[in-house]
Amino acid sequence: MLSFLKNVKDTVVGALIGTEQERQIAEELAAHFAPAPMAPSDLPKGMDIQISEDEMILNMGPQHPSTHGVLRLQLVTDGEVVRKVIPHIGYMHRCFEKHAESLPYEEIPPYTDRIDYLASMNQNLGFALAVEKLMGIQVPERVEYIRVIMCELNRIASHLVALGTYGLDIGAFTPFLWAFRDREKILDLLEWVSGARMLYNYIWIGGLARDLPPGWVEKAMEFIDYFEPKIDELNNLLSFNKIFIERTANVGVIDAETAINAGVTGPNLRASGVDWDLRRDEPYSIYDRFDFNIPLGVEEHGPLGSCWNRYMVRVWEMYESVKILRQALPNIPPGDVKEAIPKRVRPPKGEVYVRTESPRGEYGFYIISDGSGTPYRVKCRAPSFCNISAISEMLGEGTMVADMVAIVGSIDIVLCDIDR
């Protein structure tokens, strides 16, 4: 082997020197070790795209600000018109499920933070509810109220990112600044109670990491009073802007039946007119105690299921989250938030599936317990994975390359959520 490597080295050095014979040897070596070309049938599914003479394949991403992460969209274009789109994922694989299967239950909540880092409280809650159901834990009333408050604040913060960046995608810079200005106030509240601004590890199995600090409820109410009129300002600036409506109201349309068949959930599903929200239709925690509406898409400026409808459902959902917060904040009962936290998390043998309504749609946690302190199997049903799979169904007649930016932004994906 050493002699072979020496011969190759001598050959390469000789090729650099430049004699004709040595160059010929180097070319023969290169041809010998060159990989054989792949036949179309050997290519991965989605790569063997048949195109006509007038079409070309254009890659949008994975390094592109309007894909909202490391997402690669393969576009088959005819000039500026997009004929087909194929999403390629997996660039940000987080391996959450296998990590969770090698950790004690108590150490998993910080990993759920990182599935959807824009709505970490909602992921904390989903996993905690699943383990609590498996163990038969009943948490105190105070814990239930605080959990709902945190999740709704986090929902507003997540929607502000979606709405602000969507304005930026379309070409409006000011709404982005306004949305992030108000989101910072929510992050201040969440940091005050948890110590972190994005990855909270706050909702634990059986309770909470810590109680609310003195004065927190008053500050939260101040924010609600401040924030509600700001939604009206956003609507006046962007939502009902004539140019914005024309860019989004007839673009990326997906009907209700197609959305259901594709597994689309959350605001994207409700924008198509499907009246479904787990907080109301399969209540968890104490959501059944609050009065709130489920916003649906409307045909005011175009068909149901358009980019504008998906955007507006998130705007209207912020009003409803404010409504829930106004009911929950003044009515938090006294109690110990750590009273029901088990000293040792060891669920009995069995399996459980719990789903919750996150800002991006339906989150599901499926856990199999073998009776030990480590889960035998963990599976997470992430909404962005199903939502992005429906992007090819959103292509309409005459969809342009610029419209793809509007369509992707309206889905509100998080790549860590897709790749988990």
The per-residue pLDDT for range 261-312, each reduced to its tens digit, is 999 999 999 999 999 999 999 999 999 999 999 999 999 888 999 999 999 9
**Segment 238-267 mean pLDDT:** 94
Instruction: Spell out the residues 6+ positions from residue 172 whose beta carbon is closer than 8 angstroms to its own.
Output: 237, 238, 241, 244
CATH of 96-419, one of 1.10.10.1400, 1.10.287.610, 3.20.20.30, 1.10.645.10: 1.10.645.10
308: left (phi over 0), alpha (psi -120 to 50) or beta: alpha
Q: How far apart are CA 92 and CA 189, in angstroms?
A: 29
Beta bridge partners of 72: 88
Q: How far apart are CA 143 and CA 120, in angstroms?
A: 17
Q: What is the pLDDT of residue 62?
A: 79
Q: What is the pLDDT of residue 36?
A: 55
**What's the one-letter identity of residue 264?**
V
- Name the token pair of 230: 């700001």
**What's the one-letter identity of residue 43?**
L
Q: Look at residue 46 and tell me whether its pLDDT is greater than 90.
A: no
Q: Look at residue 4 and tell me whether its pLDDT is greater than 50.
A: no
Is the omega angle on the peptide bond into residue 62 within 30 degrees of 0, that is, cis? yes
Q: What is the pLDDT of residue 48?
A: 59
Confidence of residue 71 (pLDDT cuts 50, 70, 90): confident
**Segment 186-210 mean pLDDT:** 94
Query: Could you tell me what percent of the chain has a pLDDT over 70?
Result: 90
Average pLDDT, the chain: 88
Q: Would you say 266 and 388 are in contact if contact means Cβ atoms under 8 Å apart?
A: no
Q: What is the pLDDT of residue 54?
A: 81
Q: Look at residue 10 and tell me whether its pLDDT is greater than 70.
A: no
DSSP 3-state of 130? helix
Whole-structure pTM value? 0.87
Distances (CA, A) of 267 to 77, 113, 317, 339: 29, 21, 9, 35
398: left (phi over 0), alpha (psi -120 to 50) or beta: left
CB burial of 32-53 (b: ≥16 within 10 Å; e: otherwise) equals: eeeeeeeeeeeeeeeeeeeeee
Q: What is the pLDDT of residue 369?
A: 96
**Segment 126-150 mean pLDDT:** 96
- Name the token pair of 190: 């969440």
Q: What is the pLDDT of residue 32?
A: 65
Q: Would you say 259 and 309 are in contact if contact means Cβ atoms under 8 Å apart?
A: no
Q: Tens digits of per-residue pLDDT, 345-368?
A: 999 999 999 999 999 999 999 999
Confidence of residue 18 (pLDDT cuts 50, 70, 90): low
**What's the one-letter identity of residue 151?**
C
